[in-house]
Every structure is written in structure tokens, then in C-alpha cells.
Amino acid sequence: MGNLKIQTNKTIENWTSFTLINDNDVKISLLDFGGIITEIIVPDKNGNMENIVLGYHNHEKYKSNPNFFGAIIGRVAGRIQNSSFTHNGESFFLEANEGKHHLHGGNNGFHKAIWEAEPFQTIDQVGVKLTHTSPDGEGGYPGNIQANVTYTLTNDNQLIIDYDATTDKTTALTMTNHSYFNLNGNVSDTIHHHHISMNSQQFIELNHDLIPTGNVVSVDGTPFDFRQGRMLEDGIHSNYEQNKLVGNGYDHYFIFDQDPNVLVTESNSGRTLTIQTNQPGMVMYTSNSIVDDLDQDGIQSEKYLGVCFETQASPASLHFDRMPTVVLGENQVYKKQTVFTFGIV
């Protein structure tokens, strides 16, 4: 046992900031507001401890947070076409907060809630359990939702995010975390040279509104084939139509194969990030349309400063078959886990 501990501080609006520290001096800081991860400090190959996620030094900016930096996203992560869906013959109309479409639970989604926080510590891990109740009809969604999100930092340099929820009416629910990773550390470079490997044979095609068309596309022969590994710059510089229409890069849902491990490496820093989950897929977003308000480490906002790995089901399932469903029945328990393991090559 060494440095394993939790630090708490009050910040603006009486929000509470929690910093989880393990025996290796890895630090993860988060807010009870939006469950927002504000910093992840991990070593590079030379032992330099640096932050590998985007965020705001000035916490006031999290009040608007148009990029959703580090936040818990819900009820439904992603875009819902025309801000509506029908289930069992009943139509539900949601808040339109991105043109005519619904994005990331609406303007007052889980990313804007103050979660009830309960820190905990054991012999080899520290964490915070966050709890939030979303009432029937909030944002247009049916059902009272009782949601829990637990962040756990282990001495194996793992961040474990556990999601569980129940509803008293059949509803739509798929939560994720919207952290933007940059393994260079302290935003010292873009993500062009991040190397990604993942087991996914198919992705969901988008239209010019970034709404799924209903087509599930094979990755064969495209910049979306990461089965043998490739650099993110392959898609950023690609002339492939699906890369171009999202602003040159990726903002797509990948459907996982049986073994959903994702491996991210950055050779200059030597940092690695492994992602394991029981979610059926993941949106990978290369910050192609990042809003110009970053105030981190003296860096000006620009595209490609971070990459999101939004493990989740697909909101396209509300309109199309063959997609991993976001429907949660009143007798079902939503129970998902994503594990981020930080390492060095």
C-alpha cells in the first residue's frame, strides 16, 4: 500500500470534485456534475505523468460543455432521427437539440445532472458511485429511470466504469462516457498517429446529417477496417465518402465481433489504452467538429485533439432492425461495463 486515496474538493456551484489516486500515482479526477472526467494522469515510457483527456481548467465552462468533454451521456448516447421514435404502437417525441434531431439525451441530459456521489475505498481500489433519478417524461422519454454509474480506479491502472439502471416503463436507454483521449499527453500533438486495433467487421453508414441510413457496411477494403490495426490519419486523410461527410475522420458506430477488445497505442509517448466492454459496439469520434473553446495547457482548439470511444448500443435501433437495441423493458436491468486499461509499450 502506498498512495491509494481519494481527495475531494468543492468547486463552482457547490459541485464536488473527486480525485482518485492509486499506488502508482495514476490520478483520475471527476465531478459530481455530469459525472464529468476532468483529468486522467498516467505515465509515459519515460515516467512522465501527464493528462491524457481533454477538458477545461475553468470549470465554469462545463456548464455549457458543447463538446460533452468527459461527461456521462444519457438517456440515449448518440443521435435519434427526427427526435422521435415509436415503440409498441406508441410514439414519443424528444427534444430537438441538433437541428431537427435529438443528440446525447438533449440539453438537460445526464451530462447536466448533479449526481449523488458516494466515494469508496478498498485495499486495492478507489472509486465513486454516482446515482441519478430521471423522471418519467424528462426530455420526452417514458419511464422513471434510476441510474447508477460507478468509476473505479485499480492498482492495475484500470478505470472500470459500471453502468446499471432500472425503469418502471419500457423506454430507450444506452449510456456512455464521452472522454476525449490523447495519449501524447498534455495535448502536445494531435491524434493522427494514434494506432487503433479492434475486432469489428461492420459499421453503420451515416447520411449528411450524421444520421444512420439503416445500412450496415462491411469494413473490407475501407479505412474502417481496424482488424489488423491502422493509424487514425488513414481516415482523416481519406477520400472515402463516409470519412469525408463527417468532416474528414470518424464519427461512426462500429459493431463488435465476439471479442470486442480495442487497443490504442501512441509510439512517441509509449502509452497504450486497452478498452474492454460488454457493450455490442462503439462510436469512435475523432473530434472532427470540436467547438473552439478549449482552455487546456495553453492549447487553442482545433480538430483532432482527441478521440472518443463511446461504448454503447445503437440509437439507430429505434428506427432500423439489425442494430444493437437501446430498448430497456420495465422488468429488465440495464447492466453494462467498460474497462479502460492504461499501459506502456
Please provide the distance, in angstroms rounded to a whole number, between the alpha carbons at the two ends of the chain. Answer: 25
C-alpha cell at 203: 459499421
C-alpha cell at 301: 482548439
205 is catalytic: no
102 is catalytic: no
Biggest alpha carbon–alpha carbon distance for the chain = 59
Q: Is 114 exposed, middle or buried (0-12, 13-18, 19+ CB in 10 A)?
A: middle
- Rounded CA-CA distance 72/37 in Å is 9
Smallest Cα–Cα separation from 140: which of 172, 100, 174, 98? 172
Amino acid at 311: T
| Chain-centroid distance, C-alpha 128 | 18
Smallest Cα–Cα separation from 250: which of 199, 291, 299, 310? 310
Q: Is 113 exposed, middle or buried (0-12, 13-18, 19+ CB in 10 A)?
A: buried
Catalytic residue among 178, 194, 195, 252: 178
- Rounded CA-CA distance 77/129 in Å is 20
Helix (H, G, I), strand (E, B) or coil at 213: strand
Helix (H) or strand (E) holding 244: helix 241-245
- Rounded CA-CA distance 202/199 in Å is 9
Q: Is 86 exposed, middle or buried (0-12, 13-18, 19+ CB in 10 A)?
A: exposed
Helix (H) or strand (E) holding 235: helix 233-236
Catalytic residue among 39, 50, 138, 310: 310
Kindly list the catalytic residues.
178, 310
